[in-house]
Amino acid sequence: MSESTVVVFGDQPPVHLDRVADRAKVLVCDENSLPQALPAADVLLVWDFTSDAVRDAWPGEGHRPAWVHTASAGVDRLLCPELVTSDTVLTNARGVFEQPIAEYVAGLVISMAKDFHGTWELQRQRRWQHRETMRLAGTRAVVVGAGPIGRAIDSTLASLGVVVDLVGRTARPGVRGGDELPELLPSADWVVCAAPLTDATRGMFDRTIFDRMKSTARFINVGRGPLVVEKDLTAALVARRIGGAALDVFEHEPLASDDPLWDVPGLFISPHMSGDTVGWRDHLADQFQDNYERWCAGEPLLNVVDKRLGYVPVD
């Protein structure tokens, strides 16, 4: 194969792409230079996966990258009709974030069950107030999203003694179908969203869902912000129709300092960090370079996204 051109989109590109740089011309661009760089790209690495710039700049006609890789699990910020219908192969970072996110969810569940926030607040007040907390083993969780992240959350919570119902788009062995979700919610102590963002899932967690949850249940979203109707979640928390919630993703990011969500009672907010552990950028760079070597060798790429579904089909 003749020397290819790899365009890396992002203000902070990976610290090393040595294996790619030895075999290709590497161009780093930002939002302003991306439209000019795309026509030259054989491969596009989307390092800044929080931007809509690729979708906005994608060429409708003419030369386009043969392969696009995003350093994220979700691909919703990339997909546009022109990319979906093109012959460009799209891959994602499946395999990097699953276990860290599962551990983060488990940490939230333990923290909520054991009221660590309340203990910290009482310590801050120098108050000795004995309390009883929730036993985690034997509680029930509904995890919505049966992809790799959802399955990692399932197994991690199960190891703590939580009884888990994993819910996917369609029913299959070990997975409940989406049409079963309403009947599962009333008995759930934990409802965890790890679903991909598609036209079918956008806004799926609305007042109807929160009204079906029991008053002590907690809701956690580590999927995508637009999966949740934030005003409906806020209303449920303010009225104490559910016991609490934790959001790691939001409809608009970063969350503005004057956003009313900061003051919602019973809501734990984190800045889209559930999958980001020490060394994660190196893991992402290595994953892309491994796949690049497969591409150069004419071998099938790993983590190929079904662009019409918006995710990598489950094996």
202 is known as an active-site residue: no
CA–CA dist 164, 183 (Å, integer): 14
Neighbouring-strand partners of residue 144: 167, 193
Catalytic residue among 19, 272, 281, 283: 272
Q: Which of 16, 63, 240, 253 is catalytic?
A: 253
Which residue is associated with the tokens 């365009």?
7
69, 94, 151, 224: the catalytic one is 224
Q: Which two tokens stand for residue 128?
A: 């000795």
Q: Tell me whether residue 253 is one of the annotated catalytic residues.
A: yes
User: Hey, what amino acid is at 244?
Assistant: G
How far apart, in whole angstroms, are the C-alpha atoms of residue 153 and residue 164? 9
Known catalytic residue at 64: no
Q: How many CA atoms lie within 13 A of 274 on its CB side?
A: 29
- Measured CA distances, 159 to 102, 106, 138 (Å): 11, 10, 11
Residues catalogued as catalytic = 224, 253, 272
